[in-house]
Amino acid sequence: MKRILILGGGTGGLVAAKTIAEKLHKKQLEEPVEVTLVTNDPNHYFQPLFFDVALGTAEPEETKAPIAALQRYGVRVVVDEAQRIDLANRLVQGARSSYSYDYLIVSLGVKYGWDAYPGLAEAGYHNYTLEGAMQLARALARFKGGRIVLLVPETPHRCGMYPHEAVTTLAELFANRERKVQVTLMTPEKSPMGSLGPDFPKTWLAKYEELGIERVIHNGLQEIDPKRRVIRAGNVEERYDLLIKVPPSRLPEPLARSEGFRYKQDPRWADVRPRTFRHPSYDEVYLTGEHSMVPAGLVTAGIPVHFASEYAANQVVSEILGGYPVAGITKVMTCVGYYGAGSGLAGNCELDFDREKGKWRLGCYVAGTSPIIRLMKEAFYKAWIASLK
């Protein structure tokens, strides 16, 4: 029996498991194939909806669905916490059991490094977990006015568009309520999404000017003083009445505890062969989570994770079937975000693999802004969860 093991119940794990199961369904196989997904939570959470929970435009129950729904595709779902991966022996040790594999797909997201800076864990609010989003929703509901600071401690971080979506949405919402609120983005990013080319900064800066949003560029976060409500960086000190924070990204614990995963150039990430998302030394292991997007030359967001997981799944199916054709990774990725409280922004990134540098090269541009784009984003998010119910 061929054993395909998938770690992670988020976007990457869901896409990989479903793709493999559907491609192998009703195929005449030389030997049976078992597809197992191991996740530490019985629910699949669509995390982009957490911001909508914080804004009060989505209910907590709308963000999740039972991961066991994958069983209808023939996927064995196990709720367990992966702890360590033994690459040489093709074994994953969980809290409850151990799992052997012939193929392994790892998509574990990132660990939130709240303890990376003094005071960061204690101060402020965030919407990177469902509980955090609910706490932020309560804080926003009782906020009567003053200074909101959205802090980005470091880059790259999970979802590069999020800070710009958040500050423009909040600034427009409070302006519509006629509240005296100053919204400030404090970030080390010199230009809004500038790593993706000139189009995104120009579009975001126009919205910042329209809404009176302040940008403060810091050269390295030092600490947060929750009692005095002060953020200190190497070059600036900022006061806040309400703090919203973005978590630093760190290597997930199962990878951090295991040998052979840490990216030497930057230990916050997991190493990977960018073109195929295989482990550098083990062909049967694929790394398709956000933990591997930076070494691959891609952005830390759900869209590249989706397509990387789909591509890895197709490679596994190809080997099992002995020559099933594998198309390359999708060469155009579209990202959609909120552009203030009443509009949306759509951008395209065209991918080309740079063989000399061994990384993906991105050519990105803004396709447009429109209220219709916002509605499309909302509809897609809710349809994603509805498909599992």
- When mean pLDDT is compared across 93-107, 112-126, 347-361, the lowest value belongs to 347-361
Please give the pLDDT value at position 359: 86
pLDDT at residue 60 tops 80: yes
Report pLDDT digits (tens) over 211-258: 999 999 999 999 999 999 999 999 999 999 999 999 999 999 999 999
pLDDT at residue 28 tops 90: no
* 114-248 matches 2-110+251-326 in CATH topology: yes
pLDDT at residue 113 tops 80: yes
Q: Where are the domains of the chain?
A: 2-110+251-326, 114-248
Contact 183, 173 (CB under 8 A): no
DSSP run (H or E) holding 77: strand 76-79
Q: Which amino acid is at 139?
A: A
Burial of 284 (0-12, 13-18, 19+ CB in 10 A): middle
Give the strand pairing for 98-100 and 91-94. Answer: antiparallel
Mean pLDDT of 17-42: 91
Please give the pLDDT value at position 388: 87
> At what angle are helices 199-211 and 162-176 packed, to 10 degrees?
20
CA-based nearest residue to 337, from 350, 321, 348, 322: 348
Mean pLDDT of 175-197: 95
Q: Which fold has domain 2-110+251-326?
A: FAD/NAD(P)-binding domain (3.50.50)
Angle value at C-alpha 159, between 163 and 104, nearest 5 degrees: 165
d(CA 243, CA 191) in angstroms, rounded, equals 21
Please give the pLDDT value at position 329: 79
- When mean pLDDT is compared across 87-101, 229-243, 319-333, the lowest value belongs to 319-333
Has this prediction a pTM greater than 0.75? Answer: yes
Please give the pLDDT value at position 326: 77
Q: Which fold has domain 114-248?
A: FAD/NAD(P)-binding domain (3.50.50)
As given in the structure block, the two tokens for residue 50 are: 């957490």
